[in-house]
Amino acid sequence: MALHKCLCHFLLFLFLLLSDSPLLLASSLPIGINYGQIADNLPSPEKVVPILQSIGVRKVKLYDADSRVLRAFANSGVEFIIGLRNECLSKMRDPSQAASWIKSNVQCYLPATKITSITVGNEILTSNDSTMVQNLLPAMQSMYSALVTLGLQKQVCITTAHSLAILGTSYPPSSGSFRRDLTPYISPILSFHEKTGSPFLINAYPYFAYKASPKQVSLDFVLFQSNSGIVDSASNLKYENMLFAQIDAVYSALAAVGHGKLAVQISETGWPSKGDEDEAGATPENAKKYNGNLMKVLMTKKGTPMRPSGGLDVYVFALFNENLKPGPTSERNYGLFKPDGTPSYQLGIGYVNGSGSGGGVSSGGGGGVSSGSGSSGGDAITPPPDGNSSGFLTISSAPGVLRYGRTTIYLLQGLFCAWFSCFVFFI
C-alpha cells in the first residue's frame, strides 16, 4: 500500500508538471517588476498584493520606500528593492541622516518585509545635475556604513541605477565603453560595488532605439522575433536581439575598466502599449511581443552570448500605467496592468496562462523619482541587423512546458487519467 501511495503521488506530480495549471506555473516567473506610483488612480497596496501573487512575481522594485507598500507586503515572501529619491542624496552624506533613514525605512520592516537592496537615486550620472553627481558616491558610502553599524549589510545591499546613456560606445558589443567624461565618477562607484558585493544596475530600452530610427532598426530584432541577427566581427558572437547586445556592451565596458566580474542587473526594460503619432511602435501588439518574448527567453535560464551561463536578473517596466507621469503619451502607458487591475494586453505566455499580465518589472517612475522609461537616447546606439529571416528564438508557446508540444501534453494527460483511474480502482 505504501508503494501504491508513492506511485500515486509521483504520477499526480507528473500530471501537474505536464498540465496547463496556472497555479503551478505562475509561481515560476523568472522576472521582477517595477512598481511606480506617479498616478492618482492606482489600487491600494493591499489590492496589489494578490495581483502580483496571481502572476507569480516575487521581486518588486520601488522608487521610494513607501510605508504603505512595505507594510502591505509583510510576510508575502516578495523581495523588495527600495529607492532613495534623487533629491535626498545631499542629506545622505550626513552619517546621522543616513542612519536615521535606514532605521525608518529598512530596519523597522525587517524581517517581515524582505528588503534586499536600496537604489541610491535613479540615473544620476546622466541627469546633467553636477551637484547630484558629486553627492552620489558619498551618499552610497554613508548609507552602507549605516547598514554596517546596524548589522544589516549582509541582508541589504547599496547600489544605484544607470541609464544606458552612460556608455560612449555600445556597438559592436565587444567594444562597449563608458563615456570618458563620466569615467572619474563611474570608476570609484564600481570599486564600491566590488568592495560591498552589490550589483551594477542598468536601465536598457531597445524601444528607444526603434523609436529614434524606425526605418533603420529592425522591429523583429528589438522584439525578440525571428531575424537574421548580427555578428560582432571582433568577438564572432551572434546576437538575435538588441537587449542582449546592449547588456553585453555593458559587460565589455565594465571589463575595459577592470571590473568585468561585477554582477549586472537589468533594473528597467519594457515597451509602451500606446504613444503619440511620432512614437513609432508604441502599440499593444508590440508591447505584448516584447514582454512576452522576453519572458520566454528568460525561462530558458540562458545568459547573453558573452556570458551564456550567467543567467539574467531583469525587472520589467512597469506594473501599472501611471497617468500623472510627464512627457509623451508612451510614458504613461508602460504598465502590464491598467489602474483597475485588468491587463493592458494579453501576453499569452505559458507561465501566465493568458492572464494578461506577464510578470515583469521596471517601472519608470515611482514617487517622484526620475522615471526610468524616460531614459535618454543612449539606448539607441546599438545598430540593428540588416534584413529579416526565420530560425531564431523559436520557443514553443505551449503553456508552461517549453519542450513539449500541446498535442503531446494532452495525449499524456489522457493516458495518465485512464491509467490512473484503473490503478486506483484495482488497489
Catalytic residue set: 123, 268
Query: What is the grid cell recorded at 385?
Result: 541587423
d(CA 369, CA 371): 6
d(CA 21, CA 16): 7
- The Cβ of residue 386 has, within 10 Å, a number of other Cβ atoms equal to 11
DSSP state of 148: H
Q: Which uninterrupted H or E stretch holds 7?
A: helix 2-18
The gap from C-alpha 260 to its chain's centroid, in whole angstroms, comes to 21
* Burial class of 342 by CB neighbour count within 10 A (0 to 12, 13 to 18, 19+): exposed
Query: What is the grid cell recorded at 78?
Result: 516578495
φ/ψ region of 42 (left if φ > 0, alpha if ψ in -120 to 50, else beta) reads: beta
Which residues, 6 or more positions from 109, have their beta carbon under 8 angstroms from its beta carbon?
Answer: 70, 71, 74, 115
Task: Using DSSP bridges, classify how beta strands 32-34 and 59-61 pair: parallel, antiparallel or unpaired.
Answer: parallel
Nearest in space to 34 (alpha carbons), one of 246, 201, 208: 201
Q: HEC states along 34-58?
A: ECCCCCCCCCCHHHHHHHHHHHCCC
d(CA 397, CA 301): 16
Residue 52: C-alpha distances to residues 174, 312, 370 (Å): 37, 20, 24
Which residues, 6 or more positions from 132, have their beta carbon under 8 angstroms from its beta carbon?
Answer: 86, 89, 90, 121, 124
